[in-house]
Amino acid sequence: MNNPPKSFFTFSRKEQYGVIGLISLICIVFAISFFIRNYVQPKVNIDEEKLQLAWQKMQANQEILSDENSASTSSSEPFYFDPNTLDSMGFIQLGLSAKTTKYLLNWRSKGKHFYKKEDFKPLYSLTETEYNRLSPYIQIKESERNNHFTQYEKPLPLPAHINLNKTDSTTLVRLNGIGALLAHKIVDYRRGLGGFLRHEQLLEIYKFPDTTFAYLKEKLTINPSEIEKIKLNSCTEAQLSRHPYIGEKMAKNIILLRSGLKKFDKIEQLRQVPLMNEEKYRKIAAYCAID
């Protein structure tokens, strides 16, 4: 008599192979399904709504930055000007970009002359909005408007030597290696210093290549007697702090020392100022005077 439980779990060799094959097939199917779900199919659990909100936020931020840049450009208060004579600093104060200012001055240096305000409109990189904003403020001398016999005038040649402490940015921009923005920075730095004493002070503004700096040293002259010196006994803390070599903290210390001394009797007393070292003293002392 056969034992039912035993007969139920007893298979022939052929049946055993079949069961093993079936189990293997099931395992392969599960493995393939797991691989496709995790490595082949794209992940679909990304929150589409969050992605959309992030994209909209990024676009909004870009629009805000664009509006702020536009506002900063157009916020400059226009003033009456002659495009034939205004220097680079003036054009930048009008709100023109450094790029547009550079093109304008290069255009003018090559002989372009403005006889009527409409001549200003074709300026490369000048937008129609900028032209419409500035057009009412363009004033050209009557003698220039009547001089229509030629569209171009030959620009005056650069002098052999240019006084660095007296020249304007319009002349500086005609020198090799100096653009409109750099010319503006040089004039602005000169005003803060009170004048240049050495050509090497130009390197405090911009690191010129050696060949360009050698050219500028040959072209630009400096007269140390033309600088404006700070009167140590009557200057204010604000006047001192505006000097590039002094700053707010050093200015405060100089005023405190002057209060303690009652007045400066000689410039060498600046060596007693806290935080003053020999290098700073040499740079500052050259711009100070006893009054």
Q: Is residue 257 part of a domain?
A: yes
Q: Are the beta carbons of 116 and 145 closer than 8 angstroms? A: yes
| Residues 210 and 240 reside in one and the same domain | no
Domain boundary among 211, 226, 241: 226
CB 249 within 8 A of CB 275: yes
pLDDT tens track for 200-227: 999 999 999 999 999 999 999 999 999 9
Confirm whether 80 is domain-assigned: no
For the chain, give the longest Cα–Cα distance.
135
Last residue of a domain, one of 175, 203, 226: 226
Q: Which domain holds residue 216?
A: 162-226
Is beta strand 220-221 parallel, antiparallel or unpaired with respect to 162-163?
A: parallel
Across the chain, mean pLDDT equals: 80
pLDDT at 71 over 60: no
pLDDT at position 62: 53
Residue 53 in domain = no
- Domain assignment of residue 177, yes or no: yes
Q: Are residues 274 and 247 in the same domain?
A: yes
> Domain check: are 239 and 198 in the same one?
no
Q: Are residues 217 and 190 in the same domain?
A: yes
List helix spans (H) across 135-265: 142-145, 169-172, 180-193, 210-219, 237-241, 247-261
> Residue 60: which pLDDT band, with cuts at 50, 70 and 90?
low
Domain final residue pick, 110, 145, 180: 145
Quick one: 171 and 207 in the same domain? yes
Domain contains 119: yes
Please indicate, yes or no, if residue 66 is contained in any of the structural domains: no
Closest CA to 214 of 227, 204, 200: 200
Statement: the pTM of the whole predicted model exceeds 0.85 = no
Classify residue 112: in a domain, yes or no. yes
Share of the chain above pLDDT 70, in %: 74
CATH label of the domain that carries residue 208: 1.10.150.280
Give the range among 93-107, 151-165, 257-271 with minimum mean pLDDT. Answer: 151-165
Report angle CA 235, 236, 237 to the nearest 5 degrees.
125
pLDDT at residue 90 tops 60: yes
Query: Do 180 and 131 belong together in one domain?
Result: no
Report the C-alpha gap between 212 and 216 in whole angstroms.
Answer: 6
164 Cβ contact list (under 8 Å, min separation 6) = 190, 196, 199, 220, 221, 222
Task: Name which of 229, 177, 221, 228 is nearest 199 in CA terms.
Answer: 221
Task: Please compute the mean of the pLDDT values over residues 215-241 and round it to a whole number.
Answer: 95
Residue 204 within a domain: yes
pLDDT at 54: 56
Domain count for the chain, please give it.
3
Contacts (Cβ under 8 Å, ≥6 apart) of 275 = 249, 250, 253
CATH number reported for the structural domain that contains residue 275 in this entry: 1.10.150.310
